[in-house]
Structure 1
Amino acid sequence: MSGLGLAIARADGAGVRSRVFDIVLACVMAALITIGVWAELAGWPHPVVFPVGAYAIGLAAAAVLLVRRKHPFVCTIVVLVLIAGYHAAGYPGGAPVLALFVALESLAAYAGSAWWIAVAVLVVFVWQVIPALPPTPTPWDSYATTGPAMGLLFIVALGAIARQSRIGAERALAAARETATAQARERIAEERLAIARDVHDVLAHSISAIAVQSASALDAFDSDPAGARRSMERVRSLAKQSMPELHRTVTALRGDAQTDASQPPQPSLADLEDLFEVARQSGLTVRADTGGLHAVGPITGLCAYRIVQEALTNVVRHSDASVVNVSLHVAGDELVVNVTDDGTTAQADLLDAPATGFGIRGMGERAAAVGGTVRAGPRPEGGFEVRAVLPIGADVAARAARKDPA
């Protein structure tokens, strides 16, 4: 579970526990107030008119505590009014004051503004006046009133501390939400970029080769029907070869859950010869030097494969080259990839064409994803060169970071 999901789950669980706690608290307070009312009535030497009313007021004060979190001010005022009514009815003592302790703590802890803490303190002084009123007046400065008043002020202070703790927790949860949202957006952007690179690599390479073979078929349609047929067979083969990779890319775009066994395999350095063959069928002479690549892992290998694929595609699409030299060799803990051609038509225009130069940009992004670099540009002696340096250890780092450059 993500940090945000865990935080939300904890918040939901805390909400349920809070509601259960409030119900239990109201029941406990109802029992305590009832016992207090009974003790006060039993010890009162004078007859009491309608004693049931005392119990009713006490139970009502306890029941109001059920809304102490959502409506703490209303809860406090209603409890204060009930206490005043209890005293005005001539009932002895002040057992319902127990509910005021809980109400004031809630007012200080859950009210929206810190100013409500001052209101809670003011309520304490208002309550202190009530016992001094008839019909059973008690001096407001006697210990019978100042003692509970000091207790109420202490409860308000506890509520203020609880309020600060709650605000800190809410801010931490909000920060976790913002962080998780930013991380999710970043992951989505990275995934979209990876899918865009895959779509470009597969389609650009396949369509370029298909275009060349289709043109050859059209040119030979009348004079060399057999040659035209061979070209069209190559077109069909290229289309069939591109389908598994397109299927993988569309699956990733749709977010369909599939097992690794059901997914078409990713291309690797072992498949480079297929790329060379497609380039040769497009009329290029490909000279390859790809020995000693057994130490290259699948992630770095896939990155190198895509870079070679894009470099060959650019030669076919944008250059009049006839010969392409492809070299891949391990130097220390790095894989060095070189693709050069002898063309006279500059591919350098692609470097300054943001609307069309997705391939070269994609090569740089792939290399950067594994900690490598790509340099592409014209050679002094003519032609164009793509040179990539990829760390072999990128496989370990990429797996640790759970990032696939494809």
Structure 2
Amino acid sequence: MRLLSVTFKNIKKFIQHKPFLFAFLVISQIVCVIVVFLVCGFVDNANRESKIIQEGLNVFNVDVTNAGNGLDGYIEGWSSDAGTTYTDSNGKIYTEEEAKANNMKYPDGYFSDVCYFKNFKSKMAEFIEILGDNYSGFTIFGQVNDSLAAQKFSSGGSTDNSDVSEEIKNFQKSNENILRISKSDCESEFGKEPVIGDKVKLGNKEYTISIIDENVAYINIPYNTIPDDFIISYIWVYTVEPCTPKESAEISEKIKELFQTEYFDPPEPRVLDEVQNIQLAYGITAAVIIMIILNISRVYSYVLTYRKKPFAIMNICGASKRKIFLIYLVELMLTLIVTFGIALLIFHTLILQPIAVSYPNFLISMTSQTYLIIFGIYFVIAVLIMSLTISRFISKSAVEMERSGD
């Protein structure tokens, strides 16, 4: 406590006697920290492709139908304005209501053998075994018959439900014929408002509404209770860790073999994301910090020459060089923490958002973890370099400094 008290008194005297020099020291550090943030952000952005900010680095999106194989007939399409639409072989477009009213069917051969749940289940079990410890979960999407306007469902299972409520965990693992549905889906599919406990018919099974959730897309049912006439359209399979290019290629070959499809999107390779990109950004940032601190150390050395008198007084009063070193070092550490905090506040509140308009990846790059890592690098390098500067200063007596012109 006494050391801090002496340090604060020392800073107070410095501000009183050399306010402009103190302001220059503080402002220069603030500017330097902001420059470091900008360098880190721009380096990261220069090597981060826009697609990398999208989720999906650990998701295999597999289309198990024969969609896109050139079959004549009705192919499902999507429009943000018109909802689900269907196009026949002549190019005529039908709304979902028109398709339902005409009981339109997909052409023969549109669905592969794996689309049918009885064939899919063993394939999925084998795929999970192939992924091993890197398997996280899956979601499957499909319908209960081959009609274009059939009711659409999703289901799935996961080994990692850390971000899911207990209610949803129990639902996913259930062996009961229950479903989770939104109000809009219930009204469009069954013509009534959802009520907990109500019974609805899905294909050849009767289900009970157990959860009404506006966040769920499609009617959601437990994997263990999927109807026999369930036809799978596509699946999402999640891995625990993002795949390397080699892993992605190997798993892709297994997908082709197991699910009899060429239509899938493997995870994007970790080209310069997660590892190389971040290391490059922090490496260049560290180099910039070293150059900045070296320049600041020269400024601080200049500052110390204007404080020969306080140094001489402490020396005459019997203060050891070790104690004087600690006083100046603690003073420096306090200014580093304060200036970094001010710089972070200025950057995060005034600079980050305007830059993000042109460089949206700045919002991805500049996270709390990034700020902490930069602070750690900045603080450690500054303390090491400044310690050498302070040591050099106090190694001389006041008389020697006077004679040398320091």
TM-score by length of 2: 0.26
Higher relative contact order (CA 8 A, sep 6+): 2
Higher share of residues assigned helix: 1
- Structure with the higher fraction of residues in strand conformation: 2
